[in-house]
């Protein structure tokens, strides 16, 4: 099926430029800038002839009715929110390519048997509420009252945030899809790594999405004057935090040659009093662990703290751990992987199987339906950074494979 690559690229560039001007490429969920992008997207959905609207969780849907209303819909899309300074193509490629597929079908007069739904999931990236994949959690029935009560630093709760973007938090249960409610979900995404580019392969077929665990670790010492407190008498919380960071790095590095290696990151540290002339009395760190090995992900933090506790106690430091979230690894469906492989082969595009080291909405969507993911290369593997970049041809290749995959699934699924 032909797609309009120029239109696809123009839309990608237009949406990416809806950004905080002082910090490109930033369009954070639950902000006026995000709503500006959503308003533009909804207009594009309607202009493409799609039945357009928000569900109760604030997910944006565009619907292209199929010929057989008894068949379950096929769902394609991704997300339009970004991390700070890093979302030029991450997420939006999947949304814009899905829109292009649906519009091209309509323009050709080609009607699928299944209804095709294009989705922009709300807040896939970690939000200021400390939660990611908010819209897809709701679709899976995994967005709880406790989640809705989470508050960001300015006091807004997630319940308020969903209402802010046009959702209906009091009706959140209506956004849930039953386990047999959708025929398949397929998402096109940039790889966010270097495998495809290094091997000069245009299409990646995702085998599984890694598990991700996040924990909040608080190291408590004693705040003192930095000049008047002798070194042997200090209880410096940041020294303890540094030991945690170093030990986590070494432990994760040791798994590099494993069949399912593990990565561990302390990406956020808050220090108090955070003054040049004060010994830190408290350090709050966020530990994130990722791997396809579920047991290793679950055990990493506990093992790290168990082994370091004597060292921290010798430094007169106390340590507390609070789990934030845990998502198990998710396999992509064999049938969808085959459809992607056959689609790419029919277009003369080489493929490679590979896991996704990043989290995606598909982790939650998989609780209700089979999922598949298509990767295209990104420049030097850069993502979540201003340098994130792809070419029009790479975007076009991904959209063509997505379109052909949809056609094959439509023909083969009941």
**Predicted local distance difference test score (pLDDT) of residue 202:** 98
* Cα(275)–Cα(279) distance, integer angstroms: 8
Q: Is the dihedral of CA 352, 356, 360, 363 positive or negative?
A: positive
Closest by alpha carbon to 100, among 412, 372, 395?
Answer: 395
User: What is the CATH architecture assignment of 5-210+329-412?
Assistant: 3-Layer(aba) Sandwich (3.40)
**Predicted local distance difference test score (pLDDT) of residue 132:** 92
Q: What is the CATH number of domain 211-327?
A: 3.30.70.360
**Predicted local distance difference test score (pLDDT) of residue 180:** 84
- CA 193, chain centre distance (Å): 14
Closest by alpha carbon to 407, among 351, 350, 342?
Answer: 342
**Predicted local distance difference test score (pLDDT) of residue 179:** 86
Quote the pTM value: 0.85
**Predicted local distance difference test score (pLDDT) of residue 1:** 76
Domain positions in the chain: 5-210+329-412, 211-327
**Predicted local distance difference test score (pLDDT) of residue 414:** 77
**Predicted local distance difference test score (pLDDT) of residue 130:** 87
* Cα(327)–Cα(317) distance, integer angstroms: 30
**Predicted local distance difference test score (pLDDT) of residue 200:** 98
Written as six digits, the tokens of 205 are 């077929």
What is the mean pLDDT of each successive set of 10 residues along the chain, which is 414 residues long? 94 97 95 98 98 98 97 98 94 98 96 98 95 96 96 96 98 94 96 96 96 96 98 98 98 92 95 98 97 95 97 98 91 97 98 93 94 98 96 98 98 90
**Predicted local distance difference test score (pLDDT) of residue 87:** 80
Written as six digits, the tokens of 192 are 């966010």
**Predicted local distance difference test score (pLDDT) of residue 193:** 94
* Cα(364)–Cα(140) distance, integer angstroms: 6
377 within 8 A of 197, measured Cβ to Cβ: yes
């Amino acid at each position: 099926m032909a797609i309009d690559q120029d239109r696809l690229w123009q839309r990608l560039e237009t949406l990416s430029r809806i950004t905080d001007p002082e910090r490109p490429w930033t369009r954070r969920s639950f902000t006026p800038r995000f709503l500006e992008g959503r308003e533009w997207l909804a207009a594009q959905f309607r202009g493409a002839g799609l039945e357009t609207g928000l569900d109760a969780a604030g997910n944006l849907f565009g619907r292209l009715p199929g010929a057989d209303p008894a068949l379950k819909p096929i769902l394609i899309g991704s997300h339009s929110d970004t991390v700070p300074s890093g979302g030029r193509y991450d997420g939006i490629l999947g949304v814009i390519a899905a829109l292009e597929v649906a519009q091209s079908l309509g323009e050709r007069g080609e009607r699928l048997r299944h209804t095709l739904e294009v989705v922009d999931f709300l807040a896939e990236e970690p939000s200021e509420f400390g939660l990611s994949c908010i819209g897809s959690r709701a679709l899976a029935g995994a967005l709880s009252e406790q989640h809705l009560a989470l508050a960001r630093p300015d006091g807004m709760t997630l319940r308020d945030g969903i209402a802010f973007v046009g959702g209906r938090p009091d009706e959140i249960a209506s956004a849930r899809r039953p386990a047999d409610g959708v025929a398949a979900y397929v998402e096109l995404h940039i790889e966010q790594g270097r495998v495809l580019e290094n091997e000069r392969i245009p299409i990646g077929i995702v085998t599984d999405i890694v598990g991700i665990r996040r924990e909040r670790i608080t190291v408590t010492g004693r705040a003192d004057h930095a000049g008047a407190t002798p070194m042997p008498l200090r209880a410096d919380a940041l020294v303890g935090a540094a030991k945690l960071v170093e030990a986590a790095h070494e432990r994760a590095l040791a798994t590099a040659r494993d069949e399912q290696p593990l990565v561990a990151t302390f990406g956020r540290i808050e220090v108090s009093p955070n003054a040049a002339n004060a010994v830190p009395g408290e350090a709050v760190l966020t530990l994130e662990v990722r791997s396809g090995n579920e047991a290793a992900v679950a055990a990493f933090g506990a093992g790290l703290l168990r082994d370091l506790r004597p060292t921290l106690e010798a430094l007169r430091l106390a340590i507390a751990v609070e789990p934030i979230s845990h998502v198990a690894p998710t396999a992509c469906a064999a049938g969808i992987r085959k459809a992607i492989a056959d689609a790419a082969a029919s277009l003369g595009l080489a493929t490679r199987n590979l896991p996704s080291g990043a989290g995606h909405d598909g982790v939650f969507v998989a609780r209700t339906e089979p999922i598949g993911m298509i990767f295209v290369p990104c420049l030097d593997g850069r993502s979540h950074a201003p340098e994130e970049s792809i070419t029009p041809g790479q975007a076009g290749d991904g959209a063509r494979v997505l379109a052909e995959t949809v056609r094959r699934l439509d023909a083969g699924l009941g």
